[in-house]
Amino acid sequence: MEESYIKRIRSLVGDEFLILNATAVVIVNHNNEILLQKRSDNGYWGLPGGLLELNDSITKGAIREVKEETNLDIAIKRFIGVFVNPFMRWKEKDTAKVYSFAFLGEVIGGELRVNDSESTEMQYFSYENLPNIHSIDNIQVIQAYYNNQYNLVEGEKYDG
């Protein structure tokens, strides 16, 4: 297995503030509820997805991350937009500005299960009953999905 780009960068720059690219995928069930994972690193809920590796395209990275975290195979249905978390923190000093490319994904195979190294729980939630979401970009992705909006650039929405 190839060394993680993120781990390699961190080994070179330590805890310096970085700009990173990530994906977030909205997966809904037949009741239009969103699949969220309870993160093992901070105990908050978030969308499946994660940081892109050097050899990933954006969509392949999204598909890979969903598989790693949920064991589900997905097809990308549509692009929701680019969302920015200006200050993401994973550990005390591991921080970055994260540009998250968000998609709507459709389950085409696999069986939902928790990846213990990244999550403690997986659950579908209605918009009215969302738990505490771990990052501003994930909150914005969820809002854009339910409002049928496309986020094109920071702070600008397209209602198309």
Chain segment 85-115, per-residue pLDDT in tens:
887 776 667 778 889 999 999 999 999 999 8
Cβ(131)–Cβ(138) below 8 Å: no
pLDDT band of residue 158 (cuts 50, 70, 90) is very low
d(CA 77, CA 133): 23
Rg for the chain, CA atoms, rounded: 15
> Quick check: 116 pLDDT over 60?
yes
Tell me what pLDDT residue 40 has.
83
Tell me the pTM.
0.88
Q: What angle do CA 120, 151, 107 make, to 5 degrees?
A: 45
Instruction: Determine the 3-state secondary structure of 106 from DSSP.
Output: strand
CATH of the domain at 90: 3.90.79.10
CB-based contacts of 4-13 (< 8 A; 24+ apart in sequence): 4/53, 5/52, 5/53, 5/54, 6/51, 6/53, 10/94
* Predicted confidence band of residue 148 (pLDDT cuts 50, 70, 90): confident
Count: domains in the chain: 1
Domain boundaries, position 84: 5-158
